[in-house]
A and B are shown apart, each in its own frame.
Chain A
Amino acid sequence: MDQNAPRKVALIANCLLNQNAKVCQGAHYRGVVSPVVEALRRRGYLLQQLPCPELAFAGVRRWWAVYEQYDTPAYRDHCRRLAQAIAPQIDEYLRRGDEVILIGLDGSPSTGVRFTSSAPDWGGRPNRPQDDWQIVPRRGIWIEELEAELARRGLPPLPATGWALDMGRFDEAGSRRDLEEFLDGREIAAGSHGENPADP
């Protein structure tokens, strides 16, 4: 394989490789979210794990939260610092001509791509399962800040989708279908169906 050939790189939410990063009672897999990893590797994507902003900010024993609770100056500053830590790597991928995509976590207040969770009046002690929140079409805070950092560096917006793990009721088959449609749609659009740039 030509070492300089453009590659396909998937930036993936931290918890898609490590479910231990999820909030208490939020892990659906032991460790790796295998349907996501399989779908990406089968299509020749290299994996680049993103940092988990919530774990680094509030710890591994944090409560679950919604967009509005994390929408604070301090948390946005924290996300910006993380974005500045990973952005040089993304910059490097793009400058060498790699195709870079982003796979987030739909429904997440931080890592949501198509959807995030919202409840403007949430506060105080959590009360599951009585607590109710809404899924709204919006980026999570971390993705907003990551995209803003990439834009500050003059980098183009990344094609992105989310694995729908945090949408309330998790539908693995539906999520897999969504992801594969996104990935295959890109291959068809690029006219590279059947090719695998990561193959030796």
Chain B
Amino acid sequence: MSDDARGWRIALVPDTLINAPARASPASPDVLSVLEQNGYGVLQLPPPGEHRRLLAVIADQVAEYAHHGYAVVALAPLLRRRGVTLPPRHTIRPDLDAAAEGQRLAAFLTGYDLPLEEQRRWRV
């Protein structure tokens, strides 16, 4: 798959970290930019409200990725029923310095991936 650029890493991200409310806070890092710079794809969780069907669709997609060699970060309780180990979670703290929070997020993203054995199994 040498001509394929995919990064094999995906972040499950709440809408508030992608769109205006969080970005409007000067203390929040630009999460989408940090994810992009670290080569992560994004699965966006819907904004607050009743989105059960949409969440089920997203959870199915996470399960599909998790079963085929992709590293997934963040948390969604719906995954328990789909036989997927809950992914690592990182919490953005808007009460701290935005630059430091951005670096902390980048360090978390850079440092995470599947074990090498799993990577070799899937990422041919």
Residues of B within 8 A of A25 (CB): 1, 3-4
Chain A: residues with Cβ within 8 Å of the partner, total of 40
CB-based contact B36/A198 at 8 Å:
no
**Interface size range of chain B in the complex:** 35 or more
| CA–CA, A47 and B30, complex, Å | 14
CB-based contact A55/B35 at 8 Å:
no
Instruction: Tell yes or no: A158 within 8 A of B by CB.
Output: no
CB-based contact A49/B41 at 8 Å:
no
A20 contacts which of B1, B6, B20 (Cβ < 8 Å)? B6
Residues of B within 8 A of A32 (CB): 32, 35-36, 40-42
Contacts A24-B1, A32-B32, A51-B58 given: A19-B6 contact, CB under 8 Å? yes
Residues of A within 8 A of B93 (CB): none
A-B contact number at CB 8 A: 112
Instruction: Tell yes or no: A137 within 8 A of B by CB.
Output: no
| CA–CA, A85 and B20, complex, Å | 23
| CA–CA, A56 and B32, complex, Å | 24
Q: Mark B51-92, 1 if CB is under 8 A from A, else 0.
A: 101101110110011001010000000000000000000000
Residues of B within 8 A of A19 (CB): 5-7, 41
**Chain B interface (Cβ within 8 Å of chain A)?**
1, 3-10, 15, 18-20, 24, 32, 35-36, 39-44, 46-47, 49-51, 53-54, 56-58, 60-61, 64-65, 68, 70
